[in-house]
């Protein structure tokens, strides 16, 4: 057999390594050119058919009734000082208010609109070095008509006490520890002195975690884990951890909110009794193992215990990346 036959130069069915790589290389260049040519028209077709901003509905709001929705987040506590859980602030913003807030979806001009508007404050300003911030509160804002507040008016001293409580303890303390001092020149004016200049201090107060809670509840209970009384359009009627949260409209509210009288955030969705019985009957009649019984929504399931996998050797025997070096011998 000749060398040409062994290298595959005279037989198309056999190729040597050099010829194979040459053909694969030219094939990859051609595939790249085809893909690039096919993608060029797609960039020129225009924007995506899905809009970045959905306009507000033109239908008139329907007042009354109730709405129930499922939620995947469960707050560990309802004390706004001790957690930054999404599960808490998805309904805490309906019970409480803040000094300032970002625009709602029907007020914003787009997804990048970060303009601040007044919530409990009707106006605010900072001095030239951004160290002294003055907030003017709205007149006539009342707490919810629930004991021990009983619908009394919100004043600047309430906001001052709330910010001082935030600075003492909790995960929100880093925002309020930059406050050097606060004063209330009158009933509706709060002046805040910062330790260092902060241009974005008002934006920090607009975050959902900076809600204004009541002084009386904290002083009577010692914490905010049992009750939630604010100035918002909703009143917390029931909170059963890992089960549901029920919100209702209070008798006094100065903020226009959604139009439902009761809102339930359900942690677990339980099928109707007829569906449960039919499923077990079908499984039993067919000879299969019946599915487990559904637990009622008022009885949360017990979480499984986490058992870590045992390590093959103690951590003290692990090599350290700073001290262990490969041997040079």
The pLDDT profile of the chain, 329 residues, written as one tens digit per residue, is 444 444 444 444 566 766 766 666 666 555 555 545 444 444 444 565 656 667 777 888 877 778 888 888 888 899 999 988 888 888 898 999 999 999 988 888 888 888 999 999 999 999 999 999 999 999 999 999 999 998 999 999 999 999 999 999 888 888 899 999 999 999 999 999 999 999 999 999 999 889 999 999 999 999 998 999 999 989 998 888 888 888 888 654 444 444 333 444 444 433 344 444 444 454 444 455 544 544 444 455 555 555 555 544 454 545 454 444 444 44
Domain layout of the chain by residue ranges = 66-266
Q: What is the 3-state secondary structure (H, E, C) of the chain?
A: CCHHHHHCCCCCCCCCHHHHHHHHHHHHHHHHHHHHHHHHHHHCCCCCCCCCCCCCCCCCCCCCCEEEEECCCCCCCCCCCCCCCHHHHHHHHHHCCCCEEECCCCCCCCCCCCCEEECCEEEEEECCCCCEEEEEECCCCECCCCCCCCCCECCHHHHHHHHHHHHHCCCCHHHHCCEEEEEEEECCEEEEEECCCCCCHHHHHCCCCCCCCCHHHHHHHCCCCCCCCCCCCCEEEEEECCCEEEEECCCCCCCCCCCCCEEEEECCCCCCHHHHHHHHHHHHHCCCCCCCCCCCCCCCCCCCCCCCCCCCCCHHHCCCCCCCCCCCC
What fold, for 66-266?
D-Maltodextrin-Binding Protein; domain 2 (3.40.190)
pTM of whole model > 0.85?
no
């Amino acid at each position: 057999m000749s060398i040409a036959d062994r290298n595959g130069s005279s037989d198309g069915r056999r190729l040597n390594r050099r010829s194979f790589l040459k053909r694969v290389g030219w094939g990859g260049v051609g595939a790249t050119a085809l893909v690039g040519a096919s993608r060029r028209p797609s960039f020129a077709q225009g924007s995506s058919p899905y809009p970045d901003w959905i306009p507000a509905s033109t239908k008139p709001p329907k007042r009354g009734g109730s709405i129930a929705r499922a939620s995947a987040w469960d707050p560990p506590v309802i004390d706004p000082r001790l957690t930054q859980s999404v599960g808490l602030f998805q309904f805490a913003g309906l019970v409480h208010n803040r000094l300032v807030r970002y625009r709602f979806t029907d007020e914003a001009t787009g997804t990048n609109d970060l303009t601040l508007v007044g919530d409990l404050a009707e106006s605010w300003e900072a001095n030239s070095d951004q160290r002294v911030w003055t907030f003017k509160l709205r007149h006539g804002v009342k707490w919810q008509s629930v004991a021990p507040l009983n619908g009394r008016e919100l004043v600047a001293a309430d906001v001052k006490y709330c910010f001082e409580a935030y600075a003492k303890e909790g995960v929100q303390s880093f925002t309020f520890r930059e406050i050097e001092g606060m004063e209330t020149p009158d009933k509706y004016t709060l002046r805040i002195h910062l330790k260092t200049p902060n241009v974005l201090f008002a934006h920090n107060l607009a975050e959902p975690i900076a809600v204004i809670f009541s002084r009386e509840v904290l002083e009577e209970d010692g914490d905010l884990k049992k009750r939630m009384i604010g100035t918002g359009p909703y009143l917390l009627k029931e909170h059963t951890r890992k089960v549901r949260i029920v919100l209702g409209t209070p008798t006094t509210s100065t903020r226009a909110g959604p139009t439902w009288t009761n809102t339930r955030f359900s942690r677990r969705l339980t099928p109707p009794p007829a569906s449960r019985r039919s499923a077990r009957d079908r499984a039993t009649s067919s000879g299969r193992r019946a599915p487990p019984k559904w637990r009622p929504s008022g009885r949360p399931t017990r979480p499984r215990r986490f058992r870590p996998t045992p390590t093959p050797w103690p951590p003290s025997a692990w090599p350290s990346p700073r001290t262990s070096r490969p041997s040079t011998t």
